[in-house]
Amino acid sequence: MQYHFKIHKDGDMLWAECAEFPGCCTQANNKKDLVKNIVDALSLYLEQDVISENLVLEWDIFSKIDDLQVKINQYHASCPELKQQVKEYYRISVTYSSNALEGNTLTESETKIVLEEGITIGGKPLRDHLEAQGLSEAYDFMYTVIASQTITIEQIKQLHKLFYYRINEQQAGVYRTVKVLITGSKYPTTSPDKIDTAMVEMVARLNNLRPKLHSVEFAAQLHKEFVFIHPFIDGNGRVARLLLNLALLQADYNIVIIPPIMRAEYISSLEKAHIADRDFVIFVAQMLQETQKDYLRLS
């Protein structure tokens, strides 16, 4: 049997908690000692011998992501003008993939034509074009608040406003006043009268927790909690993915692309996160790792 341990930093210490047995936790100031302490703690908890080969540490994938990011950042440092090129490169991928996850019918090449040439694609719904234009504009705004190094309610509302005002100006950047259901989910969203309080509490709690979490885990938690509240009448998934990427960019990580082909795994891991968020955090980490690898291959 494998035992999964969630790892996070708190100052100079590494903390580990078992996903299967939340009461089993330990700490150390380096990875080697942490693994030893995990084996000892788990063996004591289970009252049987455990070997390190039975352990799955979430930190492993985070370490790989960090190593890849070092290479990307070194590459950017050697060629500063690349940052603007990277922003424009990902504009199409982010807009296409995020919209496609929600059922938008524009292909990636069609999205590029709409955004770069302003041409309407024959036979495609007007709304699909408006979603592409709006998400691209919100993407630009995302880059303007990277330096703030924090997540705010104002940023969230502005991201939604820029995405949605072409579709429904009255609802753009405004919390919903009606109940909504998430298709395929058995869990309710936050009731309209509690959204404002829930959003304020979410932002405050996560910003306070941020120094204790790996940047990828923080970004995944932000996405998850925002979607569970579902504050807007529409466009919550797209805003969640913008927030996911904003959090990563603020921490000097690469943008993450969730390909439409991964929609089933994405939705499934997010649904499971209502009970335990390990699968969703790992899913986000895996998608980021693949995006990093793709970028380095192109470089």
Q: Mind telling me the catalytic residues?
A: 230
User: Which residue, chain included where needed, has tokens 């899913």?
Assistant: 283
Strand partners, 13: 10
3-state secondary structure the chain: CCEEEEEEEECCEEEEEECCCCCCEEEECCHHHHHHHHHHHHHHHHCCCCCHHHEEEHHHHHHHHHHHHHHHHHHHHHCCCHHHHHHHHHHHHHHHHHHHHCCCCCCHHHHHHHHHHCCCCCCCCHHHHHHHHHHHHHHHHHHHCHHHCCCCHHHHHHHHHHHHCCCCCCCCCCCCCCCCCCCCCCCCCCCHHHHHHHHHHHHHHHHHHHHHCCHHHHHHHHHHHHHHHCCCCCCHHHHHHHHHHHHHHHCCCCCCCCCHHHHHHHHHHHHHCCCCCHHHHHHHHHHHHHHHHHHHHHC
CB-CB contact of 242 with 156 (8 Å): no
